[in-house]
Copies of this chain bind each other. A is one copy, B any other.
Amino acid sequence: MLILREAFYGTERFDDFAERVGISEPVAATRLRELVDEGLLVREPYREPGQRTRMAYRLTEKGAELLPVLAALMQWGDRWLQPDGAPVQLRHADCGKVVQAELRCAAGHPAPLAELDLTVGPGATVPATQDG
């Protein structure tokens, strides 16, 4: 999760992942390989002038779509585990306002817990016995 967070922050190079997450290179290599195997990151060679070829890691679409999970977890942690508030904040580049993960229905209404129903979805394996 910390490696994925770094990937969302824009980290791509192997050395930078190990250094910024604060883990050893062997551990970073193992974690990055797991994330590649899960299809969350893709491994691409790159080469800077005069250097040997190295590996970069970029988020796949599957990986990038974890952003709402990560953002929601960050905001929860900022509220409940950080007495001084958020150490970093996501902001909307266009307007500069703080970005939050929130629940909304397809009609655009904010949907707090008290207004949620749990219903059977298209992938249910057990026949529905009731609506909702």
Q: A residues near B, CB below 8 A? A: 8-10, 62, 64-69, 71-73, 75-76, 78-80, 82-107, 109, 111, 113, 115-125, 132
Contact = CB atoms under 8 A, between A and B. Distances in A.
Nearest to A132: B91
24 contacts: A65-B76, A66-B76, A72-B72, A84-B122, A85-B122, A86-B121, A87-B120, A87-B124, A88-B120, A90-B111, A90-B116, A91-B105, A91-B132, A92-B105, A92-B109, A94-B115, A95-B105, A95-B109, A97-B106, A100-B103, A100-B104, A100-B106, A101-B101, A102-B104
Given A105-B99, A107-B97, A115-B94, A121 B66 contact: no
B119 A89 contact: yes
A69 B76 contact: yes
A113 B4 CA distance: 14
A109 to B, nearest CB: 6
9 A-B pairs with least C-beta separation = A86-B121, A92-B105, A84-B123, A85-B123, A85-B122, A97-B105, A68-B72, A97-B106, A89-B121
